[in-house]
Structure 1
C-alpha cells in the first residue's frame, strides 16, 4: 500500500485545481457562445462589475482584471460546491443530480444576484438564453466539481474535513 503524501489530500489544492478547470471550461463556453463579440469585450464586461463603464475604455489591464475576476468567481463556486458535496451526495445519492443542482444554483446566484448587484440592472433573460446558460453551468461547473468530488469522497479525501 502506497503512503499518502500531504499534498495528495490537500483540500485547498484540490479546490484550486478544480476551480482552474471549471473557470477554463466556463470561459471557453462564454467565448464560444458569444463568438461574434471580441473576447476582450467579454472579459471587460466582467471587469466592469468592479470598475464600471471605465472597464470598456481600458486596455489589456481590464481584460486581465476580467480574467482574474472570472477565475476568482469560478474558484469561489468550486470551493462552496466541493466542500458541500458530501452533504448533497448523502441526500441526493447521485453525482449527476448534484451536478444539475450545482449548475442551476450557480446560474441563479450569478444571474439573479451577482449581475443585478454589480451591473445595477436586472438582465433581460430570454428562455433560450436561460436554458443554454443553465446547461453550460451544469456541464462546465456542476459536472467537473461533482464527479471529481465524488471520486475524492470514495477515496476518503474528505476525511480531512470531518476530523480534528
Structure 2
C-alpha cells in the first residue's frame, strides 16, 4: 500500500476509533438524555434548534457530522505526528494532550461558530467530564494512528 493510502487509512480508522470513544463516553456522561437527543445536539451545530424535532433522521446527521469531525481531527493529529514522530512513539501522552486541545478548540471556536444555541457555562464537573471524554478520544485516536503509521515512519 502506498504511503498516501496508509496515511488516509490511518486518518479514517483513527477518527472512527476516537469518535467512537468520545460519543460512547458522551452517552454515559449526559445521561439521562437519550443517545438520540445527544446526537441531535451534535446536529444542532449544523441545523440549529430544528434538529431536536427531526427524530432519528437528525440524530443520524449528528452521528455522521461527529465522525466527520473526528476524522478531520485525526488527519490533523497525523499531520503533526509525521512532523514530530515522538507523538507516534508515545501515543498515550500525545493522545491525552491532543484530546485536551481538541476540547478547547471545540468549545472555544467550533461550537460558538456553529448553529447550536448558546448555553451558559457548564458546571466544573461537566467540564471535567468533557475533558475526560476528549482524553479518551485523543488516546484512542493516537493509539490507532500510531499502530498503523509506525510501520511507515520507521
TM-score scaled to structure 2, two decimals?
0.85
Q: Secondary structure at the match of 2:33?
A: coil
- Which structure shows the bigger proportion of residues in helix conformation? 2
Pick the aligned partner of 1:117 from 113, 118, 124.
113
Deviation at 1:25, TM superposition (A): 1.1
CA spacing shift, 1:122–1:144, aligned 2, 3 Å: same
Structure 2 residue corresponding to 1:60, chosen from 53, 56, 68: 56
**Does residue 9 of structure 2 align to residue 24 of structure 1?**
no
Distance 2:19 2:84 in 1: 22
Matched residues, number: 153
Q: Within 2, Cα distance between the matches of 1:76 and 1:98?
A: 17
Q: Deviation of residue 95 (structure 1)?
A: 3.2
What is the CA-CA distance between 1:151 and the residue it aligns to?
A: 3.7
Give me the whole-angstrom Cα distance separating, in 2, the residues matched to 1:127 and 1:116: 19
RMSD: 2.6
Structure-1 residue corresponding to 2:76: 80
Kept in 2: contact 1:44–1:66 (CA 8 A): yes
Say which structure, 1 or 2, has more relative contact order (CA 8 Å, 6+ apart): 2
- Structure 1 Cα separation of the partners of residues 51 and 5 of structure 2: 39
CA deviation vs aligned residue, 1:31-76 (integer Å, no higher than 9, x gap): 1111201111111111111111111111221011011101111111
Return the TM-score normalized by structure 1. 0.80
Q: CA deviation at 1:94?
A: 3.8
Contact 2:7–2:149 (8 Å) recurs in 1? no
1:128 to 120, 125, 128: 125
CA distance in 2: counterparts of 1:50 and 1:117, whole angstroms: 10
Contact 1:112-1:122 within 8 A present in 2 as well:
no
- Does 1:69 pair with 2:65? yes
Q: Is contact 1:96–1:146 with CA below 8 Å preserved after alignment?
A: yes
In structure 2, the gaps of 5 or more residues are: none
For 1:132 and 1:117, the matched residues in 2 are separated by 22
Does structure 2 conserve the Cα–Cα contact (< 8 Å) formed by 1:116 and 1:123? no
SS for the counterpart of 1:52 is helix
Look up the match of 1:162. none
